[in-house]
Structure 1
């Protein structure tokens, strides 16, 4: 980890793309709190830029994605952090931007939905209406193709889509088979120039437009828009959050929620531990900057 300013984040992003770092086990934050605090105290940044995933981080995972809600107390903690002069807060999620805003519902923080493809400023898509048309057509085809598989949920999020398979019986419908089936539908429905990208997460296969954009790029853009120097801290649990950890790995702090191998510097056990960290930042973290 290194201390950061906005410029250092942009510079390291350009010079550290290859070779790709290898995910490894991360130490538990609760056993390395002194190291975490030292990173904040020795930073030359004026503020902490706190980026957060939603599902599995601010909110526990649930079988029905439409019923997800933040843990009790997180709303008040985010309000306190957003109002503090030493913090900037952003929530960067795979959820549709409007859905994300309604579930977090905190003024004064930044929002990015659909893995950063929808941002509250300077969104990266040049032709979102064309993408929505393609996503809608492919979702219709997937609904017909996957209709015989019990438990599949197809979520049209406008400029991306998610195929959830948490409730699917794995016998005969393993994730690899579902991926191949979805990839075949996407190939039939789109041209090479407009072929959707497929990515994977926790019990989900994501369909995204064919542009080089992800949570890491969204985090980097938010940081570049800051007027003060910042040290970025990102907290997330999914494989899609590794793109953000690739940014914090060279210029900040990454915290992975769970036990999987990761590019993050630390790990915490679950959303309850995330809430504890947010409370620590409110009570003590500002004194470290």
Structure 2
């Protein structure tokens, strides 16, 4: 199917800029959402399109994800030179001067309390599983087929986390994450904008946490929401399998320019 006329026009204007920044979420955008989060891989045509963009002059490419950096590198297999933002902005690999995540004593204690609370809930519910992250942890319920039961597990996690000091919950699609550092994808995109000074930014995301990224986009930027649900993004695609068409169109336009 052809791209929506308004999106194609936006891409034409975007591609005409001298330098642009393309920020991509991983899960639900470049990769399909799957029950086993560690089995996620880029949709093949998306991986090819991302590779095309990475080779183009004047295009900076970044993954902006909730995944820990090490996991993001492993699963996304980003092209050389791709900037990486993990853990919703708490972890960054923006070049040789990037430093690792450092938690103070209180944050380390809070992280351990998060992991202990979520591990207890996971131990009592088949299908739920705990993902340990450098700045906290996440409970996943995508393997639980009963949506009512899955929501009950998430509510138990919310209630448990409410009793831990220094915790910042983040809601997602069949996942509840808790971190000990306040960071958002919006802040990460703003940091990338300051660092790279692009004339425009394109951001693609699918989940609730991506709305904070859409919220910081400016005139001339492009926000693309993958899937259903309310969004601040001006454009929408049905699913990850549609993303390659957008990225390839952008690559074609840049090549023509």
TM-score under structure 1 length normalisation: 0.78
Residue 207 (structure 1) shift: 0.6
Residue aligning to 1:217: 187
Mapped partners of 2:210, 2:147: distance in 1: 29
Is residue 204 from structure 1 mapped to residue 178 from structure 2 by the alignment? no
* Structure showing greater relative contact order (alpha-carbon pairs closer than 8 Å, 6 or more residues apart): 1
Is the 1:254–1:266 Cα contact (8 Å) retained in structure 2?
yes
Structure 1, unpaired ranges of 5+ = 1-27
Residue 234 of structure 2 is matched in structure 1 by 265
Pairing partner for 2:28 from 56, 60, 82: 56
Q: CA RMSD in A?
A: 2.5
Q: Match of 1:259, SS?
A: coil
Residue number in structure 2 paired with 1:18: none
Q: CA deviation at 1:31?
A: 4.1
- Shift, 1:249, TM fit: 4.9
Distance 1:185 1:248 in 2: 34
Q: Which moved more, 1:89-98 or 1:124-133?
A: 124-133
Partner of 1:254: 223
What do the CA deviations read for 1:158-202 (whole angstroms, capped 9, x no partner)?
A: 213111112225476352x434422332243x33xx2x1112111
Change over 3 Å in CA distance of 1:236–1:286 after alignment to 2: farther
- Residue 123 of structure 2 corresponds to 147
Decide whether aligned partners of structure 1 residues 264 and 215 sit closer, same or farther in structure 2, where only a CA change above 3 A counts: same
Alignment partners' CA distance in 2, 1:74 and 1:34: 18
Q: Which runs of 5+ in 2 are unaligned?
A: none
Distance, in Å, in 1 between the alignment partners of 2:245 and 2:104 is: 38
Give, in angstroms, the shift of residue 81 of structure 1. Answer: 1.3
- Equivalence for 1:40: 14
User: SS of 2:200's equivalent?
Assistant: strand
Give the alignment of 1:83-94 within 5 angstroms: 83-94=55-66
Equivalent position to 2:83, from 90, 93, 110: 110
